[in-house]
Amino acid sequence: MENPYFTLHHEFREAGAEVLISSGQACVAFGIATFSKDGDWIIRENEASCNAVLSVLGKHGAMYRLGAPLHPGWLCVGWTSHFEFRAQAGLRMRTDFCSRPPRVPLVDNLWSRAVKAAGLDVVDVESLIRLKQTRRQRDYSIIGALAEVAGWEEDLPELALQYLQDYDGLLRAVQRWPAEAAACEREAVRRLRGDAPRTEVVAAIAVEQDARIQEDQARIAAMQAKFEAYASQFGKLRSRWRRTGTPLPEQHRELVIEAESLRKEVL
C-alpha cells in the first residue's frame, strides 16, 4: 500500500493545485520519520489551487475541521484550513493547508527551493527545519536529525552549526568547520569555541529550544484569542454538517460567510 498522503498529493497535482508536502510527510519523504499521522501542505495563494484541492477533497467526502475556509482571502492573512475524511480500510485522513507558514520569512523561497521526485513536491530541508521549530519538544529531535543528515553529511556547515541539537555533534561540527563556527552567532557554538564546560553548552541548547517553544506557544495563544468566538460558531456548523451529511462545497459556502470576520485579523 502506498502512503495515502502521497497518493492524495498526486490527486491534488492532477487536479491542477500547486501544493508542497510539508512537515511530517516531508520527514517521511526525506527518510527520517517512518510515520506521520496527518498531511500538511503549503498551497499557492490563488483560487485555482484552492478550488482544485476542494474538488479532490469533496470527492473523498471530506469535512472541514476547525479553521478558515480554504480561500486566498484567508490564507493571505495567515489563517490555515483543515479537513478530514475516511479513506480505504477506515483510515482517518487529516489534511492541513497554509500559504504563509510561521517562521519562514520568505514564502517565495519555499517555492523556488522545492524539490520534486516521483510525482511529489516537497519543501526544502532548511525550510522544513524552520517549520519544525514548534511548541512540541519532540520536533527538536527531528530538527537535529535534519541537521545531521543534511548539514553534517551533505557538507552544509551553516545548517549543522545552526541546528544540531546534541553536544557531541555540535562539538564535531565546530572542530570540522572552525571558520564557519567563528562566524556563527548561536550561543551554544560561541560557548564551544570558548571551551566552556559541557554543561554550559547543553544548557545553551536547552534554553534555545525553550525560547522557540515559548515563541510558538505565544503565537498559538494569540491566534486562539482571535479565534474564540468563531470556534464556538464553527462547532455548531460542524455538528449540523455531520447530522445532515452536508457536502464539502456547501460547507465551504457556509464557512466563507461565517468566517468573514477573521479576514480582518492578520496573524
Q: Which of 123, 120, 101 is nearest to 112 (CA)?
A: 123
Q: Which of 147, 171, 167, 149 is nearest to 158 (CA)?
A: 147
Which residues, 37 to 66, sit near other proteins by CB under 8 A?
37-38, 40
- DSSP structural state of residue 263: G
CB of 232 to other proteins, least distance (A): 26
Looking at 67-75, 141-149, 200-208, 225-233, which segment touches other proteins (CB under 8 A)? 141-149
The C-alpha atoms of residue 152 and residue 244 are separated, in whole angstroms, by 54
DSSP H or E run through 92? strand 92-98
Chosen residue from 13, 65, 103, 113 binding other proteins by CB under 8 A = 113
When binding is defined by CB under 8 A, the residue of 65, 109, 111, 267 that contacts other proteins is 109
**Contact call for residue 111 and other proteins (CB under 8 A):** no
Cβ-based burial of 143 (10 A; exposed 0-12, middle 13-18, buried ≥19): buried
Does 185 bind other proteins (CB under 8 A)? Our answer is no
Q: Which residues bind other proteins (CB under 8 A)?
A: 1-6, 23-24, 27-38, 40, 89-92, 109, 112-113, 115, 117-118, 120, 122, 124-126, 134, 136, 138-139, 141-142, 144-145, 148-150, 153-154, 156-159, 165-166, 168-169
